[in-house]
Structure 1
């Protein structure tokens, strides 16, 4: 009997030692529902980063384990996912491509003193809302809205614009707010506003109203998440409306081309994270590695954002020479000149939002192309 007890204790000790050789990181993504076309690629990017880190010997001599439950594009499920990964002893969290879902999870990390790095949520007040354990991989909505407003005014020649806003999301409301602010500052005029809600599938009422506007708009700005992006383009074009459609990174999804089809996916322009057509070696290597791992090119800029978020945490752990959450947080706050796939990341602004370049992408005949790179003020 004593030998059995001794063997059990030894086995338990071995299990404990094995778990001690792991560094657990939570990855909170919506793998089903309206955000899945952004979050799915982000998780794949993060998983690729973990694989590369572990093949290179791990972090601090330990293997990295990613814990990634599905938030199902639901705030309550997202909060449950956060509670689950926190209960499993993660030292940091990454994830989410939308502010609303970050706010369902990141405050729980803040309460526990565990750093959280969003890979894709872009509201510029996120670090202030959550606290000093919150970090952003992407640019802020102010920068990307300013970028597409400048492009609409300068390159598309738009002077009068209608604005549609998904009124159920913090991200989409912020995007419209900053677009209007910049466009009017440039001398443009907002000639009509309209709203819809996440999950809406019929935009006929909004389309009828845009058709009756006087003066007529030169373009329509649509602040939406992916599930509404493709549908809105399809329905607008089906009604014979050919004016440019402009948006932010919620349109950085294959749905903008696949839902309307190549004949209707025309004259669409959106701001997103600098990645497509970028000739930096970090980008070329990521594309090559992603294709080798998954058999396809990265679906959109959210794939490298997931990769960058995980690598930001890994970089902080290496610099801190510690997997203690507070040490990771402190090292993250000191990040300067991190060469990510989506651009250099430095936390130099008081807002803690990294100043990053913004790509302007066009969609014509269902084909995506980089039109220009917009550079923000750095402070």
Structure 2
């Protein structure tokens, strides 16, 4: 009887040990580190998500080929948030509670990223967005979110860069702002552009709004045309940008249109056409015309892997992968808290888009480029170094 009892007890202990091995976020298989990917693989901004994932997968493939992290291979577990905030929340919940990942990369857009933050912070699992630029992602009511990070610069910097470009390079005295009122990204950029442009002595003649997935913009464009601004600031994503610029040019609105990194996708040319995009400018994180050896190395590796030129979202996805891989090496642990600490301590890390140091608000200090569209091609205009 005693032997039977001991056998049952031992069986119970073994079962408990097996279940414990499938437990909390820091538990991993002995030979792998599970990382979550929460991206827009379908839906209105799927091109952003797919590019970012390409970049991340390349960084992980290179790291694994070089021996991984202390002999462990990195495994990327993907979830499609369908370009919707509610789906993004569902995706991160599954990745953390069911798939047991130690860090989550993504989403790509600001609104979708913001929708996932509470889950990340409550579970104390680091989140890195490659391309979410809203200031609210890393800072909440003046306090840095402890588990939120990014590998891209923030909206206030983009708005500042483009306001200064409008004032100093284009010599604009007046501007109109045309925002996507359903987008935190768009609203944040508009605020920073207006603040800096008016400080420069410029005048904002008015602001109009549209909603993502709108098709006909002529009513609000008519109001902007009547203002007769020197420039129009259009902080939006490529699908709406292409349609708006095309319709504006058809209405005889030939003034410069300005934007930010949401413009930076080849699809914008397919939607708007090459000629309508002439006399438009936007800022971004990366230029394929950059001759920096690190940019060239990344471009060649990406082209070899995917047989196409990388866009900015691919570059930032790659950077997010390098950012995390570097932190995993320095943390020497799969404990999310230790990974978080290592991310926070990142300094002078060489990425595809330049050198990066993480500031006190978990935002990267890095360079910005301004690009001009000419006959459907991006032309490098200016590069602005980071302010350290």
TM-score (norm 1): 0.92
* Higher Cα Rg, which structure: 2
- Residue 271 of structure 2, aligned match among 256, 259, 264: 259
1:156 deviates by 1.3
Q: Which runs of 5+ in 1 are unaligned?
A: 1-5
1:263 deviates by 2.3
Check if 1:323 corresponds to 2:334: yes
CA distance in 1, matches of 2:385, 2:207: 28
Aligned to 1:157: 171
CA distance in 1, matches of 2:386, 2:100: 38
Aligned to 1:375: 385
Contact 2:160–2:196, Cα closer than 8 Å, also in 1: yes
Check if 1:124 corresponds to 2:170: no
1:376 deviates by 4.2
Check if 1:51 corresponds to 2:65: no
* Cα distance per residue 1:359-379 (max 9 Å; x no partner): 10111111111100123433x
Aligned length: 366
Contact 1:30–1:73, Cα closer than 8 Å, also in 2: yes
Aligned to 1:190: 204
* Cα distance per residue 1:131-165 (max 9 Å; x no partner): 20111211111111111111111111211111001
- Residue 302 of structure 2, aligned match among 287, 290, 293: 290
CA distance in 2, matches of 1:376, 1:334: 18
Aligned to 1:355: 365
Q: Which runs of 5+ in 2 are unaligned?
A: 1-10
2:29 aligned counterpart, secondary structure? helix
Contact 2:88–2:107, Cα closer than 8 Å, also in 1: no
TM-score (norm 2): 0.90
1:269 deviates by 0.3
Aligned to 1:3: none
1:105 deviates by 1.3
Q: 1:251 to 1:359 in 2, by over 3 A?
A: same
CA distance in 2, matches of 1:94, 1:351: 18
1:45 aligned counterpart, secondary structure? helix
Check if 1:346 corresponds to 2:357: yes
- Moved >4 Å (runs of 4+): 15-18
1:212 deviates by 1.6
Q: 1:108 to 1:157 in 2, by over 3 A?
A: same
Aligned to 1:271: 283
1:269 aligned counterpart, secondary structure? strand
Give runs of aligned pairs for residues 131-170 of structure 1, distance below 5 A. 131-170=145-184
1:265 deviates by 2.0
* Cα distance per residue 1:11-69 (max 9 Å; x no partner): x98x9999321101011110112222222111100011111111111112111111111
Check if 1:241 corresponds to 2:265: no
Q: 1:239 to 1:316 in 2, by over 3 A?
A: same
Contact 2:246–2:276, Cα closer than 8 Å, also in 1: yes
